[in-house]
Amino acid sequence: FYETCGLWRKAKYLKIHFAESWNELHHLLIMEELGGSQKFMDRFIAQHIAVGYYWFVVGLYIVNPVHAYNFNEHVEQHAFDTYDIFLKEQGEELKKLPAPQAAIDYYIDGDLYMFDEFQTSRGCSEPRRPKIENLYDVFVAIRDDEAEHVKTMIELQTDTELRTNHDQTCTVD
């Protein structure tokens, strides 16, 4: 909205938001492969909640972008906490189950440019490469992605310049 009106010119923010959306899409694909899309009513409710959530955040962003980022920070923190509890409670069982192909395609075999792009807290450090050997590893990777989203949302509440591994400001020795 603000970019369209010419009030802000933060193309990097758009790129980071796209990278985060790309990451969340792959979380959805993983969950669908695990059976999360089998029941019509589950899909129907989830899709309608997602549309409502989207428009709520758009409205909040128009009124005050900092509040929108703060709200999303809390949503991402809740996601992290939920995955963390799930891993602690179900970890041993998850280690016995194979990783879904969608997770292997995304975290191991896929183009990791967008994966690196949403991890703004890492700056110029070594890129994060999750190991994916079983379902436990998949949920650890998703949980850690949520932690990265939290850090990004915190940074977006300030007027700092975000850096990723692909920025030209990084130097390689």
- The model's pTM: 0.85
Evaluate if residue 20 carries a pLDDT over 80: yes
- Does pLDDT of 173 surpass 50? no
Q: What are phi and psi of 123, to 5 degrees?
A: 55, -125
What's the confidence (pLDDT) of residue 17?
85
CA distance 72 to 49: 15
pLDDT tens digits, 33-76: 999 889 999 999 999 999 999 999 999 988 998 999 999 999 99
Query: What distance in Å separates the CA atoms of residue 117 and residue 138, rounded to the nearest whole number?
Result: 19
At residue 122, the pLDDT reads 56
| 3-class secondary structure, 66 | helix
pLDDT tens-digit readout, 123-172: 566 777 899 999 999 999 999 999 999 998 998 888 666 666 555 554 43
Give the pLDDT confidence score for residue 165 in this predicted structure.
Answer: 58
pLDDT, residue 84, reads: 98
Please give the structure tokens belonging to residue 133: 């050997």
Does the pLDDT of residue 111 top 70, yes or no?
A: yes
Between CA 18 and CA 25 the distance in angstroms is 10
Give the C-alpha separation, 92 to 10, whole Å: 44
- Confirm if 108 and 146 have CB atoms less than 8 A apart: no
